[in-house]
């Protein structure tokens, strides 16, 4: 793959797929600019080489064509404030004559932001129209840079198809970092390699569990999915979350882990609540959840046992919370594991929306080696799938 670091953008116009899908308040101000800030290294590299950057992104989920509330014009002032002294322009479309003219008029050292890609169905929904749309996006530029990991698991016009119509293509710094950690580090992990897998359901993490069972030394299970494994082992689960149809699959995963010599750990104790509520009555129980109770967090002994495994690890991957961490009384497991990962000297990779939210809330983000910018994309990457957005810039 062409490395962005080794490419000289002098005199080139580069179209960059960024992820500017940022939250806005009711005044259409950006309330969290993390994604915009994270795109800056790639944009600044293009500009400092003496090139020009055309930025394209989606924002929100427009249903039928243009909707003012999803316009990318709302991010322009934020981008401008992060690029002081740079001329940041906006054009209220992403294809067509007006856009082509704006690309032509763009001078080296300038930035042009295009309108929301998803105002056109050809970006993500209308497969037949995708190539024509992608070709128009590619008009008037010399280079395509993909720096949007959050959509890299989708073969959309701007994330993958466009690469066929631009001669020079590459990953931006953000995408490169994701490939380095989620791809290279996980493919050749320093051992012991410990995976922490949590979240609501086994179904959402089935493929990742299968894939990690072949690679990890230890898998630590938490969250609602633990109780489907409990059921598979014949433990009482009370009213805890369970996926009956996956009990046999859970058995197979346990057998597979045993056969492969993986240390597959389940919670040894739990917080069992009488209802799904932060104010619920809480009982500390072992591996038998009493009737009428539901396990909503892992217990103190489990946190200690998991922390010990994490301490001895050289590589840690974490996806999914250990309990209902949105409720403070059931957040200790998730934050305990978070602290253990932060304290360990292992390479730590955090993927998935909820674990990333927990890490950010805990204030320990700067102690992690890598926090993935894509929920679904990071999961698919860990599952060992080829992501279209990465394959496109690799070919």
- Which residues are identified as catalytic? 35, 201, 353, 376
Q: Closest Cα partner for 8 from 43, 48, 40, 39?
A: 48
Which pair of structure tokens corresponds to residue 179?
A: 């490939």
Instruction: Choose, by CB under 6 A, the member of 299, 320, 351, 388 that binds ligand AMP.
Output: 320
Which pair of structure tokens corresponds to residue 250?
A: 């859970």
Candidates 153-161, 229-237, 308-316, 321-329; binding stretch for ligand AMP (CB under 6 A): 321-329
Site string for ligand AMP, 249-278 (x = CB under 6 A): ------------------------------
Does 321 participate in binding ligand AMP (rule CB under 6 A)? yes
User: What is the distance between the alpha carbons of residues 102 and 95, in angstroms, rounded to a whole number?
Assistant: 10
Minimum CB distance to ligand AMP, residue 225 (Å): 7
Minimum CB distance to ligand AMP, residue 226 (Å): 7
* Angle at 297 (CA atoms; ends 224, 315), nearest 5 degrees: 80
Q: What are phi and psi of 113, to 5 degrees?
A: -100, 125
Tell which positions 71-100 bind ligand AMP, by CB under 6 A: none
Minimum CB distance to ligand AMP, residue 145 (Å): 30
Does 201 participate in binding ligand AMP (rule CB under 6 A)? yes
Question: Which residue's CB is nearer to ligand AMP, number 62 or number 321?
Answer: 321
Minimum CB distance to ligand AMP, residue 327 (Å): 8
Does 204 participate in binding ligand AMP (rule CB under 6 A)? yes
Q: Which residue is nearest to ligand AMP (CB)?
A: 199
E-strand stretches of 149-224: 168-171, 193-197, 218-221
Tell which positions 282-311 bind ligand AMP, by CB under 6 A: 295-296
Candidates 17-25, 92-100, 121-129, 315-323; binding stretch for ligand AMP (CB under 6 A): 315-323
Strands 370-371 and 315-319: unpaired
Residues paired with 348 in a beta bridge: 316
Minimum CB distance to ligand AMP, residue 251 (Å): 20
CA dihedral sign of residues 124, 126, 132, 133: negative
The answer for residues whose C-beta is within 8 angstroms of residue 77's C-beta and 6 or more apart is: none
Does 199 participate in binding ligand AMP (rule CB under 6 A)? yes
Q: What are phi and psi of 27, to 5 degrees?
A: -100, 10
Helix (H) or strand (E) holding 136: helix 130-138
Helix (H) or strand (E) holding 49: helix 34-49
Residues making contact with ligand AMP (CB under 6 A)? 199-201, 204, 223-224, 241, 295-296, 320-321, 323-324, 326, 352, 354
């Amino acid at each position: 793959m062409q490395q962005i670091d080794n490419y000289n953008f002098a005199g080139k116009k580069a179209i960059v797929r960024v992820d500017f899908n940022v939250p806005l308040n009711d005044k259409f101000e950006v309330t969290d600019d993390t994604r915009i800030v994270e795109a800056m290294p790639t944009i600044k590299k293009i500009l400092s080489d003496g090139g020009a950057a055309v930025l394209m992104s989606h924002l929100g989920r427009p249903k039928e064509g243009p909707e003012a509330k999803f316009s990318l014009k709302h991010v322009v002032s934020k981008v401008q404030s992060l690029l002081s002294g740079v001329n940041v322009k906006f054009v209220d479309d992403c294809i067509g004559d007006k856009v082509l003219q704006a690309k032509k008029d763009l001078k080296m050292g300038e930035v042009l932001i295009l309108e929301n890609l998803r105002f056109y169905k050809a970006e993500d929904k209308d497969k037949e129209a995708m190539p024509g749309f992608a070709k128009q996006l590619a008009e008037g530029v010399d280079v395509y840079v993909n720096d949007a990991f959050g959509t890299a698991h989708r073969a959309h016009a701007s994330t993958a198809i466009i690469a066929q119509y631009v001669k020079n293509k590459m990953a931006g710094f953000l995408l490169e970092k994701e490939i380095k950690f989620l791809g290279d580090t996980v493919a050749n992990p320093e051992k012991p390699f410990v995976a922490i897998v949590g979240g609501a359901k086994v179904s959402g993490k089935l493929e990742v569990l299968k894939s990690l069972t072949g690679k990890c030394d230890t898998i630590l299970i938490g969250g609602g999915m633990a109780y489907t494994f409990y059921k598979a082992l014949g433990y009482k689960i009370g009213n805890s979350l369970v996926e009956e149809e996956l009990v046999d699959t859970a058995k197979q995963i346990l057998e597979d882990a045993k056969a492969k010599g993986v240390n597959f750990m389940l919670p040894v104790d739990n917080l069992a609540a009488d209802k799904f509520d932060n104010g619920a009555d809480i009982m500390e129980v072992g591996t038998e959840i009493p009737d009428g109770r539901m396990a909503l967090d892992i217990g103190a002994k489990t946190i200690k046992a998991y922390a010990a495994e994490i301490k001895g690890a050289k590589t840690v991957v974490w996806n999914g919370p250990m309990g209902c961490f949105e409720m403070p009384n059931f957040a200790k497991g998730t934050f305990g594991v978070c602290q253990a990962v932060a304290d360990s000297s292992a390479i730590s990779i955090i993927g998935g929306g909820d674990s990333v939210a927990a890490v950010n809330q805990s204030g320990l983000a700067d102690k992690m080696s890598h926090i993935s910018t894509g929920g679904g994309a990071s999961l698919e990457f860990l599952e060992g799938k080829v992501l279209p957005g990465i394959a496109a810039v690799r070919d």
